[in-house]
């Protein structure tokens, strides 16, 4: 992998990632952009203990532009985008409308039992998977998928060096049903200033399981799914993909390395090469499931930067609201109001169908 660092016109960082052997010089961003000062603020919910980001500047972010004005396509004559090069393989840059930022202005300090605040000092980045506006991750070659994995790992390492970041979460949202506002194939990376709710709960369960049983919870789940086999979709020498026994979403797939690593930078060459093939196969199956491509959220659960790393086991969780042909599941009363999930389908039946594809 070849890395080229640069700066955008307003001072945000941009990084090009190319397959080894590609020489690149960071071009100058010719736009006249004002410097931005995000006003992200963290507020603690006294009822749940959850931290909530308040980022009102995101209301003005770009929404569903035409292909000719896509900010993630390469720059061209008559159109200067967020990427000041005429082509690229994979590129990562700081989000112009971030939920968290190292440049966030200090929040007024409020410290009472009911009102606790802090500045939203983290980092949000955009990951462009390629310059083709009409492609998707499933259309990529294994070499390009591997390059994206390398970029995720590299950014995880870089963001972990920022002292205000506690958790790094690379993810992709795909499809209008998910709420995607830019159609160009891309993902994001959030560097949270705290350990978010889902990761925190999973790690707490793993720590409690280790204390009681003396074994790793994630490893035991993998072995249980391999023995059962009913929910396994695909398995290679290095990875396994399966639907969890207690799936919440209409489509919920977990992808684990068979050999334990805590985070993306710890993946070795064999694991990285093998993941690219398995993941592309999995996305292809999902896109053949219905007549339209499956909308999804796909994100990496990995060890926090500094704490709760002992029991962590890197894995990817892919979720979709598509419950049937032409139908999506809305998170209504029970799910949104109480967090009481109801799954309309059997994970075993969906796994069998995906295996058949």
Catalytic residues: 186
CB 123 within 8 A of CB 191: yes
CA distance 199 to 312: 10
Cα separation values, 139 from 185, 230, 281, Å:
10, 28, 10
Taking the CB of residue 229, how many other CB atoms lie within 10 A of it? 12
CA distance 273 to 239: 11
CA distance 312 to 304: 8
Local structure of 167: helix, strand or coil: strand
- The alpha carbons of the chain give a radius of gyration, in whole angstroms, of 21
Local structure of 161: helix, strand or coil: coil
| Angle at alpha carbon of residue 273, lines to 145 and 124, rounded to 5° | 45
């Amino acid at each position: 992998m070849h890395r080229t660092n640069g700066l955008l016109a307003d001072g945000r960082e941009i990084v090009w990632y190319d397959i080894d052997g590609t020489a690149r010089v960071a071009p100058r961003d010719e736009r006249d952009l004002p410097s931005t000062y995000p006003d992200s603020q963290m507020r603690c919910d006294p009822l749940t203990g959850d931290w909530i980001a308040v980022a009102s500047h995101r209301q003005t972010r770009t929404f569903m532009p035409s292909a000719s004005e896509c900010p993630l396509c390469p720059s061209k004559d008559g159109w200067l985008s967020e990427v000041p090069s005429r082509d690229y393989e994979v590129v990562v840059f700081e989000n112009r409308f971030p939920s968290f930022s190292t440049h966030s202005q200090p929040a007024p300090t409020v410290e009472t039992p009911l009102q606790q605040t802090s500045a939203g000092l983290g980092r949000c980045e955009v990951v462009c998977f390629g310059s083709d506006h009409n492609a998707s991750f499933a259309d990529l070659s294994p070499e390009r998928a591997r390059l994206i994995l390398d970029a995720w790992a590299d950014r995880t390492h870089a963001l972990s060096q920022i002292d205000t970041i506690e958790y790094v979460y690379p993810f992709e949202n795909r499809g209008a049903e998910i709420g995607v506002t830019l159609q160009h194939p891309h993902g994001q990376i959030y560097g949270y200033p705290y350990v978010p709710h889902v990761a925190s709960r999973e790690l707490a369960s793993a720590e409690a399981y280790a204390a009681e049983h003396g074994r790793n919870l994630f490893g035991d789940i993998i072995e249980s799914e391999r023995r059962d086999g009913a929910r396994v979709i695909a398995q290679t020498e290095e990875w396994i993909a399966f639907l969890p026994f207690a799936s919440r979403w209409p489509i919920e797939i977990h992808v684990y390395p068979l050999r334990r690593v805590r985070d993306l930078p710890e993946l070795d060459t064999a694991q990285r090469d093998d993941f690219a093939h398995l993941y592309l196969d999995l996305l292809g199956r999902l896109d053949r499931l219905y007549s339209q491509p499956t909308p999804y959220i796909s994100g990496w659960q990995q060890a926090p930067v500094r704490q709760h790393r002992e029991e962590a086991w890197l894995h990817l969780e892919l979720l979709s609201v598509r419950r049937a042909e032409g139908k999506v599941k809305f998170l209504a009363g029970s799910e949104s109001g109480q967090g009481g999930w109801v799954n309309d389908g059997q994970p075993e039946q969906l796994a069998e169908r995906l295996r058949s594809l």
